[in-house]
Amino acid sequence: MKILVVGGAGYIGSVTVEQLLAAGHQVVVYDNLLKGHRESVPEAATFVEGDMGDAAALDKLFGQHTFDAVMHFAALSLVGESVTQPDKYFKNNVSNGLVLLDAMGRAGIKKFVFSSTAAVYGEPTEWPIHEDFPHNPTNPYGESKLAFEKVLKWYENAYGLRYATLRYFNAAGATGCCGEDHDPETHLIPLILQVAQGKRDAISMFGDDYPTPDGTCVRDYIHVVDLADAHVRALSILGERSGTFNLGNGTGFSVKQVVEAARKVTGHPIPAKVAPRRAGDPAVLVASSARIREQLGWEPKYPDVETIIADAWRWHQAHPQGYHASAHV
Ligand code: UFG
């Protein structure tokens, strides 16, 4: 198939591009490089710099290529920033997403894979989380993703769009080529690894008084390679139907457990200190991935948190300044 990957120069997009190419698909990456890295796009993919909200640029692109499907990774995803700047999140994640969908409509493209998030569930009180649990986002980021999920449902109804919505839990890990390089970095595992690299003195653990076994928040960390694999599989259902799937391992690890695992992997003592809770953090987010296992035959290959951290560590050691001054090999 020929696939357009919007946001394909970002963390999860770039790993998916690697896998699409390995599976024999043709890939065009479309990315505005505000968050993405040109160096993360493999030579075998065609790269086009552009913005998801630019209808004329998308029409031109769709005039030059005949795509079988579009994957959309081009969302803004910082929860804290979404609370202080909701306008930015609704504009990019909803309005600009509509520009993409409508350009697809004009070009007659009916297959779409969408990156959604566990943030659509808000603060669930039961685990593991199934797809049909209540959707109560507690921040504009989650709300913007949920709004776009609803758009997809109505576009299917009216225009025959087929979509696969993938609700990610906590993406982590790396491949040999592609890893996590955010600015600013806010995620737990890369921040812990910055301590091991000597870039920061200690990791702050946000809250140790949550109702969890050790008091720190519990998350479901999923290897980015397993995430990407789900996107490639999702393409197979789009001929017939749409679907919404959680993407997690189904096992939770606390912040303290992740720090301990990183100490083992890196051999660094990784000093940790308790800091106040971060606003909006749910105590526990653990996925039921039963639906995607049953319906797409998806099975995580790297469920072990130490493997996930080890792969991230290898990438950060090979790219101590992130993508700066490195080229894709
Ligand atoms: N944490 C710390 N210290 C840090 C950074 C994070 O203790 O320096 C904690 C957080 O409080 C949280 C856990 O580590 O309990 C994981 O935090 P991340 O920021 O790595 O990830 P989140 O669980 O906050 O976010 C992820 C996705 C979001 C998504 C969210 C759903 O990255 O896109 O899950 O709630 F919205």
Q: How far is ligand 1, taken at its centre, from the CA of residue 57, in Å? A: 34
Question: In this structure, what token pair is assigned to residue 105?
Answer: 């409509």
Kindly compute the dihedral angle of the four CA atoms of residues 34, 220, 307, 215, in this order, to the nearest 10 degrees. Answer: 110
11, 89, 141, 168: which one is catalytic?
A: 141
Distance between CA atoms of residues 278 and 83, nearest Å:
12
CB-based pocket (< 6 A), ligand 1: 77, 79, 117-119, 141, 170, 186-188, 191, 203-206, 217, 219, 255, 278, 281, 285
Q: How far is ligand 1, taken at its centre, from the CA of residue 80, in Å? A: 10
Averaged pLDDT score across all residues of the chain: 96
Mean pLDDT score, 19-38: 97
> Is 210 part of the annotated catalytic residue set?
no
Ligand 1 atom closest to Cα of residue 78 = 33
Q: pTM for the whole thing?
A: 0.96
Q: How far is ligand 1, taken at its centre, from the CA of residue 188, in Å? A: 6
Q: Where are the domains of the chain?
A: 2-171+221-248
Question: In this structure, what token pair is assigned to residue 292?
Answer: 């995607």
User: Token match 């319906």: residue?
Assistant: 295
Best probe residue, ligand 1, of 76, 83, 254, 281 (max atoms within 8 Å of C-beta)? 281
Question: In this structure, what token pair is assigned to residue 6?
Answer: 């919007």
Nearest CA to ligand 1 atom 18: 187
Nearest CA to ligand 1 atom 21: 187
- The answer to whether 159 and 98 are in contact (CB under 8 A) is no
Kindly compute the dihedral angle of the four CA atoms of residues 92, 150, 10, 316, in this order, to the nearest 10 degrees. Answer: 120
Closest CA to 127 of 235, 248, 28, 237: 248
Q: How far is ligand 1, taken at its centre, from the CA of residue 189, in Å? A: 9
Nearest CA to ligand 1 atom 19: 187
Nearest CA to ligand 1 atom 29: 119
pLDDT band at 280 (very low <50, low <70, confident <90, very high): confident
Residue 325's pLDDT is what? Answer: 57
pLDDT band at 279 (very low <50, low <70, confident <90, very high): confident
Mean pLDDT score, 11-38: 98
- The answer to whether 170 and 219 are in contact (CB under 8 A) is yes
Q: What is the pLDDT of residues 200-235, one digit of tens each?
A: 999 999 999 999 999 999 999 999 999 999 999 999
Arch. (CATH architecture) of 2-171+221-248: 3-Layer(aba) Sandwich (3.40)
Nearest CA to ligand 1 atom 25: 170
Distance between CA atoms of residues 234 and 244, nearest Å:
10
SS3 48: strand
Q: What is the pLDDT of residues 119-138, one digit of tens each?
A: 999 999 999 999 999 999 99
Kindly compute the dihedral angle of the four CA atoms of residues 291, 293, 299, 303, in this order, to the nearest 10 degrees. Answer: 30
Q: How far is ligand 1, taken at its centre, from the CA of residue 295, in Å? A: 28
Spell out the alpha helix ranges (H) of 65-168: 79-84, 86-90, 97-107, 140-159
Residue 327's pLDDT is what? Answer: 43
Answer with the residue of higher pLDDT: 234 or 281: 234
Q: How far is ligand 1, taken at its centre, from the CA of residue 282, in Å? A: 9
Residue 328's pLDDT is what? Answer: 43
Nearest CA to ligand 1 atom 15: 217
DSSP 196-241: HTTSSS-EEEE-S-SSSTTSS-EE-EEEHHHHHHHHHHHGGGTTT-
Best probe residue, ligand 1, of 76, 120, 206, 227 (max atoms within 8 Å of C-beta)? 206
